[in-house]
């Protein structure tokens, strides 16, 4: 198997799941049914750094949430797909739109709906507390749990792989 840094060096697009990756996977509801989510601030900085260095970022989520739309727009993410019961067709359309091959993509997930994307990606990543099958399919797993800095770890890995060794 290729070195993880070699795989990361070829990444031009990172596709993240949201719940369980950007968040800890818990759902919070207010008394009026409003949904609340907590996002880690360091994850946001990592995403902004990816974008700054020309690496595209997308989210493909099974759930739809106004909070996710708001946060992803705040970070500068343009490719936001929510309410996707079947993620692979959305993923394939995105790759076609961007003119990218699966080998140029890193997919980050935590649960079974993410596995089909991970199986085709050049770099499959699971968060630390991902479902065991996700961890088994991953080329690499973060040390941090979802919602606790896992996204930042992914960003740091990809950015470090692009820089020549000192």
For 4-162, give the CATH class: alpha beta
Query: Which one is predicted more confidently, 111 or 30?
Result: 111
C-beta separation of 141 from 158 below 8 A:
no
Ordered by start, the domain boundaries in the chain are 4-162
Q: What is the pLDDT of residues 104-131, one digit of tens each?
A: 999 999 999 999 999 999 999 999 999 9
**Res. 51 pLDDT band, cuts 50 70 90:** very high
pLDDT of residue 71: 97
* Residue 99 confidence (pLDDT) above 70: yes
Q: How many CB atoms lie within 10 A of CB 91?
A: 22
CA distances from 15 to 29, 46, 53 (A): 26, 14, 16
Q: How far apart are CA 102 and CA 53, in angstroms?
A: 20
* Strand, coil or helix: 28: strand
Query: Which one is predicted more confidently, 162 or 56?
Result: 56
Taking the whole predicted model, whether its pTM rises above 0.75 is answered as yes
- What b/e string do you get for 56-82 counting C-beta neighbours within 10 Å, with b at 16 or more? bbbbbbbeebebbeebbeebebebbbb
């Amino acid at each position: 198997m290729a070195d993880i840094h070699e795989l990361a060096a070829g990444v031009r697009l990172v596709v993240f799941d949201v719940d369980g990756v950007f968040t800890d996977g818990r759902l919070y509801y207010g008394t009026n049914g409003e949904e609340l989510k907590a996002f880690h601030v360091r994850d946001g900085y990592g995403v902004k750094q990816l974008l700054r260095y020309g690496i595209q970022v997308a989210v493909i989520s099974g759930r739809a949430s106004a909070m996710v739309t708001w946060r992803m727009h705040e970070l500068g993410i343009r490719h936001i797909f929510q309410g996707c019961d079947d993620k692979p067709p959305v993923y394939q359309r995105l790759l076609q739109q961007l003119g990218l091959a699966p080998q140029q993509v890193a997919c980050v997930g935590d649960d079974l709906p993410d596995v089909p994307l991970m199986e085709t990606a050049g770099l499959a990543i699971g968060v630390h507390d991902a479902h065991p099958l996700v961890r088994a399919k991953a080329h690499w797993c973060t040390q941090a749990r979802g919602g606790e800095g896992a996204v930042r770890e992914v960003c740091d890995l990809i950015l470090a792989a692009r820089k020549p060794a000192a």
